[in-house]
Homo-oligomer: A and B are copies of this chain.
Amino acid sequence: MSVPLSPTTRSTLTRKKDRAARDRADLYGVLDEALVCHVGLVLHGSPVVLPTGYGRDGDTLYFHGSTGSGNLRAAASRVDVCVTVTILDGIVYARSLNNHSMNYRCAVIHGRARPVTEAAEKLHGLRVVTDHLAPGSWEHAREVSAKELAAVSVLALDLAEASVKVRSGEPIDEPEDLEHGTAWAGVLPVHTTFGAPAPATYVPADMPLPAHVTERGNGVSPEPVR
């Protein structure tokens, strides 16, 4: 069943409304494929935008950082935040310079982040982030100690107020350029891919690469549907 996105004033597109995705599934798709989000908040009167990792569990976005981070402390203080996740799918070459564009999928979430303080949910939030960024590591690596857990801040952001904007497909040229234009037009796809894993110097040379690392080699960015 497709659950519509909640269009508040902030989350309603004012331009290119035809590019608005309508379904929660579109939101989940963008969030689950990308690796990094950009968190925006107002600090001492000025906007600040910083990248961070995240993970999604249902309609909750978890992200985390050090308790020593001023920006994270600000984000945890129940101020408005805007979390934006962008996937660039292609460079769109048109016959006219003016119709050059980019294919992308972009999710924008508005809300107030909730600091996760209860130990069990904090661990759960860390697991959600780990499963997103380094799937398999939660089972493979040394677990989080109580001391380490205390030194990390975990924030939860509800995905209630969100919008997704998508541009896909070929260039859109002017009628005059379609008729008389001679320039090449088309899409140059952009992919995010993983390279060959590089073991740390302190890992024994004969240690085989674990499957959860090698299995990512296929890449995270499947050919976008055009």
Q: What is the CA–CA distance of A185 and B49 in the complex, to the nearest angstrom? A: 30
Give the Cβ gap from A21 to chain B, nearest Cβ, in Å. 15
Interface residues of A in 39-64 (CB under 8 A from B): 39-42, 44-51, 53
Chain B residue numbers with a CB within 8 Å of A93 are: 134, 137, 141, 213
How many identical subunits does the complex contain?
A: 2
Chain A residues bordering chain B, tally (CB within 8 A): 92
Q: What is the CA–CA distance of A69 and B15 in the complex, to the nearest angstrom? A: 6
Extra pairs beyond A50-B108, A53-B102, A100-B141 (10, CB < 8 Å): A40-B40, A51-B84, A171-B200, A178-B202, A185-B200, A187-B200, A188-B195, A189-B197, A191-B194, A198-B226
Give me the 10 closest cross-chain CB pairs, A-B, nearest first: A189-B195, A40-B49, A40-B47, A40-B40, A49-B84, A186-B199, A51-B86, A98-B148, A185-B200, A96-B142
